[in-house]
Amino acid sequence: MSMNPRESGEFIVKNAKHLAIDVNGIQNLVKEVVEGIKTKQIDIENFSQHEHHPTVSDAYAPNWIFLIDTLNFCFWTPGDATKWKVNGYTGYFALCASINRAIKEGIDITNPAYYSSITVNELEHILRSDDNVTKCPLIEERVSILGDVGKKLMLKYDGNFKNCVIEAKNSAQALIKLVVNEFPCFKDEATYCNEKVTIYKRVQILVGDIWSCYRGEGLGQFDDIETVTMFADYRVPQVLVHFGAIKYSNELLDLLKKETILANGSPEEVEIRGASIYVVEQLKEMVLKEIKENCLDLSTKNVNSVLLDHFLWDYRRRFAYELEHIPFHKTISIYY
């Protein structure tokens, strides 16, 4: 029986050799989060208000979200290499922009009947960059994954991810289990200190996106949404290091500064991701305590790891220049 991501985070931090957690650093973040809730930077409404995201009224929303989160991995580029950009965006938002562009061009890209047999050339065209030269990384892997998930959706779920969500019966954990079992490209697991740990970045962000899009109602109602942890990637740890919540050892810092590629599943990589989960879980508890003890007039419905992750990820984008000196770990992986 493998540990869930929360348990995995605790286990990894307890055994970590390459980093340490500083409670004072987490406390620094508590102030930022409380302010973020006050100013509505942290709010369930924010997902659908973004120009690239679908809304509840879009019938294709579940399939759009599933497609995006199936392809949402490994956008970083080494050193000074030209970044893949679409409509001026990089990374995740470049992916959103390219998929939305394809929809406008009449390509049935959110339909698994189409992408289950997509070719490398077709996907390269859909993900073409602003300069028409730079390619989105790992195109072959993305094509292979689309083939696998598309065929399974067609075979068992009538070509609609909505049916997977319905089958989970308002349980985030049931949906996580279903997706991981049915679509192996979401099985983000590792062996650490002889124990199986789960990180589950993309499957949890998938659940979080459905919940956010539907504002926790209807199709997006998950009665156990608080059990979903943050989505351990390579950017949020930069913010956690910036605030002093995570402290890297000198050896790990040297590795990251040299842009050493960390193998997926290596102790260093697993520790960075596990510590991120642990810190955000602690942050969540500390924010809830702060609201309660100080009788703050703030809704606790906006205090969960999904929205805290959105806030931290956005913080990194907003203060990209200030955080640039903090190296982020680089791993070539389909899992994040």
Task: Specify the length of the chain in residues.
Answer: 336
Per-residue pLDDT reduced to its tens digit, 155-198: 999 999 999 999 999 999 999 999 999 999 999 999 999 999 99
Residue that is written with structure tokens 């950009």 in the block = 85
212: Cβ contacts below 8 Å, ≥ 6 apart: 44, 46, 47, 48, 220, 306, 307, 310
Q: What is the mean pLDDT of the chain?
A: 95
Q: Which two tokens stand for residue 270?
A: 């697993």
Which pLDDT score, from 0 to 100, does residue 108 have? 97
Taking only the tens place, the pLDDT of each residue in 232-285 is 999 999 999 999 999 999 999 999 999 999 999 999 999 999 999 999 999 999
Looking at residue 145, its pLDDT comes to 98
| C-beta neighbour count of 56 within 10 angstroms | 14
CB atoms within 10 A of CB 316: 20
CA nearest to 142, candidates 110, 115, 103 = 115
Output the pLDDT for position 77. Answer: 84
DSSP 278-321: HHHHHHHHHHHHHHHHTT----GGG-SHHHHHHHHHHHHHHTHH
Q: Which residue pairs from 261-268 have beta carbons closer than 8 angstroms and sit at least 24 positions apart in sequence?
A: 261/330, 261/331, 261/332, 262/329, 262/330, 262/331, 263/331, 264/190, 264/331, 264/332, 264/333, 264/335, 265/190, 265/191, 267/17, 267/18, 267/192, 268/18, 268/329
Instruction: Name the catalytic one among 43, 69, 209, 233.
Output: 233
- pLDDT attached to residue 46: 86
Phi-psi region of 222 (alpha: psi -120 to 50; beta: other; left: phi over 0): beta
Lowest average pLDDT, out of 45-49, 158-162, 285-289, 291-295, goes to 45-49
Q: Does pLDDT of 1 surpass 80?
A: no
Residue 185 CA to residue 167 CA, distance in Å, equals: 20
Q: Is the pLDDT of residue 298 over 90?
A: no
Judged against a pLDDT cut of 80, whether residue 49 lies above it is answered with no
Tens digit of each residue's pLDDT (9 = 90 or more) over 23-36: 999 999 999 999 99
Tokens standing for residue 290: 């702060």
* pLDDT surpasses 90 at 79: no
209 belongs to the catalytic site: no
Q: In this prediction, what percent of the chain has a pLDDT beyond 70?
A: 100
Rounded percentage of the chain residues whose pLDDT exceeds 90: 91
pLDDT score of 225 more than 90? yes
